A and B are shown apart, each in its own frame.
Chain A
Amino acid sequence: DTGVSQNPRHKITKRGQNVTFRCDPISEHNRLYWYRQTLGQGPEFLTYFQNEAQLEKSRLLSDRFSAERPKGSFSTLEIQRTEQGDSAMYLCASSRKKTSGRDTQYFGPGTRLTVL
């Protein structure tokens, strides 16, 4: 399997600008997750999709954060009007829930965002 890929790997932006990150999941994985990781912490769950449906978005950090998965394949995470506190690693994971209920998430390499 080709693993989860994320682009760009690094993004530097000025405060107030909008940024968009892309995630391509493992092929045939129907679930896709977004996490944020700040320095010294474990990843923090933000949102997830099953196919094109966004089934959980209450954990998104503010209304400046939004995610889409229009065709049930790749996904984008957008942050509007970035703030310095948004600086973090943004991780994407994908999985395929099996009939047994097992649902193992595999992570991409992440996008490192720096807001100046």
Chain B
Amino acid sequence: GQQLNQSPQSMFIQEGEDVSMNCTSSSIFNTWLWYKQDPGEGPVLLIALYKAGELTSNGRLTAQFGITRKDSFLNISASIPSDVGIYFCAGQLPNLYSGGGADGLTFGKGTHLIIQP
């Protein structure tokens, strides 16, 4: 199946620092999404990207859909304690590649963000 390479696996940062994480793929995706997941809960959508080159912000979060459609990054500015959690990138393949309608998302393994006060 398709694989998304998400890095870094984990980040230990000081409160107030900026954070950057990214995802790459060998396949082209037509949608990139970033989710945050807290322990024992489902993923919560942060940002959705639909066009190559698109740069979108949501408060202190900024994400971009790579020009090649094979990568995306997420930046968090001025981190705060509630930013702690696991961040996942997810990609959705174009229907042409989805084997007859499988619009399920392909997820990375996540970036575990830990903030030291």
Q: Do A and B bind each other?
A: yes
Name the contact of B50 in the complex, choosing from A44, A48, A56, A102 (C-beta under 8 A). Answer: A102
- Indicate the size class of the contact surface on chain B: 20 to 34
Least CB distance from B23 to A in Å reads 10
Tell me if A116 counts as interface (CB < 8 A to partner B): no
A-B contact count (CB 8 A): 81
Looking at the assembled complex, report how far the CB atom of A29 sits from the nearest CB atom of chain B, in whole angstroms. Answer: 13
A42 within 8 A of B: yes
Q: Are A42 and B41 in contact (CB under 8 A)?
A: no
Of all chain A residues, which has the CB nearest B107? A42
Residue contact B44 to A55, C-beta cutoff 8 Å: no
Q: CB-CB < 8 A to A43: which residues of B?
A: 43, 88, 90, 105, 107
State whether B42 touches A59 (Cβ < 8 A): no
**Given the interface contacts A107-B35, A110-B41, does A48 sit within 8 Å of B102 by beta carbon?**
yes
Residue among A31, A44, A106 making CB contact with B103, cutoff 8 Å: A31
- Please report the C-alpha to C-alpha distance between residue A105 and residue B43 in the assembled complex, in whole angstroms: 10
Q: Is A21 an interface residue (CB 8 A)?
A: no
Q: Contact: B43 with A56, CB < 8 Å?
A: no
A58/B102 contact (C-beta < 8 A), A41-B109, A42-B90, A42-B110 known: yes
With A103-B31, A104-B33, A104-B48: A45-B41 Cβ-Cβ less than 8 Å: no
* Alpha-carbon distance between A42 and B90 when the two chains are bound, in angstroms: 9
Alpha-carbon distance between A48 and B4 when the two chains are bound, in angstroms: 21
- Identify the interface centre among A101, A105, A112: most chain B CB within 10 Å of its CB: A105
Closest to A10 in B: B40
Q: Give, as a whole number of angstroms, the nearest-CB distance from A63 to chain B.
A: 18
Point out the residues of chain B lying under 8 angstroms from A109, CB to CB. 41-42
Q: How far is the CA of A58 from the CA of B102 in the complex (A)?
A: 9
Q: Which residue of B lies closest to A54 (CB)?
A: B101
Instruction: Tell me the nearest residue of chain B to A41, going by C-beta.
Output: B109
Chain A CB within 10 Å, residue with most, of B6, B40, B42, B100: B42
Q: Is the CB of A42 within 8 A of B48?
A: no
Task: Give the B-binding residues of A (Cβ under 8 A).
Answer: 4, 6, 31, 33, 35, 40-48, 50, 55-56, 58-59, 91, 101-110, 112
> Lowest 6 A-B CB distances belong to which pairs?
A45-B104, A42-B107, A107-B42, A56-B102, A55-B101, A110-B42
